[in-house]
Chain A
């Protein structure tokens, strides 16, 4: 079983749609949780950290359920510029600085 599992997608949605990404992780001791965004042939960039109480940044909302070891990302009113691969990332058993990446979910927003 992979340490971080994501739906591979792709998700093809029209502009303005609401999109939800799901992720599960296997290490119950993980303490750091993130969503990264990766554009084609580019480096991953931090989209947002995920906190236990849930957090929101504009059109983006992240949720964490520690009991279920489940993380989600919701994008509202999707834009063409949201098209990218979304990576679920948690810290591994080696410490807070060692990140474990999911394989990513590709999102394509069309007009």
Chain B
């Protein structure tokens, strides 16, 4: 079974540019999450999709970030325009069930974003 895949693995862009990250969850997983880790900080929740609907987007930093999951399959996270403080590792995760205690999340290998 394929795991969670993310593309690209690395992205280097200049301040003010746009970047789009992609995540393909494990097949059959309704839940898809975005997390990120900025330098020196803990991994933080960004948002949670259940199928194509945003269940919780309380962690999105500001309106420069836009996440979509059209059709309830893969998801994209767009940053426009990118700022220096957006640099970090963006992880995607997926899980099968919603609202289950101790539900296991499977993480992708992340996208390392560097904004110069």
Chain A residues at the B interface, C-beta cutoff of 8 Å: 2, 4, 31-34, 42-46, 49, 51, 87, 92, 94-104
Contacts and interface: CB of A to CB of B under 8 A. Distances in A.
Contacts of A101: 35, 42-44
B64 interface: no
B114 to A, nearest CB: 14
Given A49-B102, A95-B56, A99-B105, A44 B43 contact: yes
Interface of B: 31, 33, 35, 41-45, 48, 55-56, 58, 91, 95, 98-105, 107-110
A102 B42 contact: yes
B45 A104 contact: no
Contacts of B100: 96
A43 B45 contact: no
Interface SS of chain A: loop
Contacts of A97: 31, 33, 48, 55-56, 95, 98-99, 103, 105
B43 A87 contact: yes
A43 B43 CA distance: 11
Contacts of B98: 97
A32 to B, nearest CB: 5
Nearest to A102: B42
A44 B45 contact: no
With most chain B CB atoms within 10 A of its CB, the pick from A4, A44, A49, A102 is A44
Contact of B107 (A31, A43, A96, A100): A43
Given A42-B109, A43-B108, A97-B95, A32 B101 contact: yes
